[in-house]
Amino acid sequence: MIRVILILFLLISPANAKCKYYAEADVVNDKLINKKENYTCKENDNFIVQFATEEKYQHAFDQVITWVFIVALETL
């Protein structure tokens, strides 16, 4: 069951990235030389990382961890 949830989460989570591209080159006799391209992307953290690390979710994260611990103890 956990595998199914994990697979669904990975398939559903969008890949949001902010990308920037720039290139520069020297032109000599109508030819490009020393061409340099730069492509950088900044991806946002997925929800699990945000939920575990951001302060605005800290109280909810603590409650989730507590409940997971209680349920794990009950199953033993």
pLDDT tens by residue, 57-76: 888 888 888 998 999 999 88
Asked if residue 46 lies in contact with residue 13, where contact means CB atoms within 8 angstroms, the answer is: yes
Distance CA 48, CA 68 (A): 15
User: How many angstroms separate the first and last alpha carbons of the chain?
Assistant: 19
What is the rounded distance in angstroms from the CA atom of residue 13 to the CA atom of residue 46? 7
6-62 pLDDT per residue, tens: 666 665 555 666 788 888 888 888 888 888 998 888 777 777 777 778 888 888 888
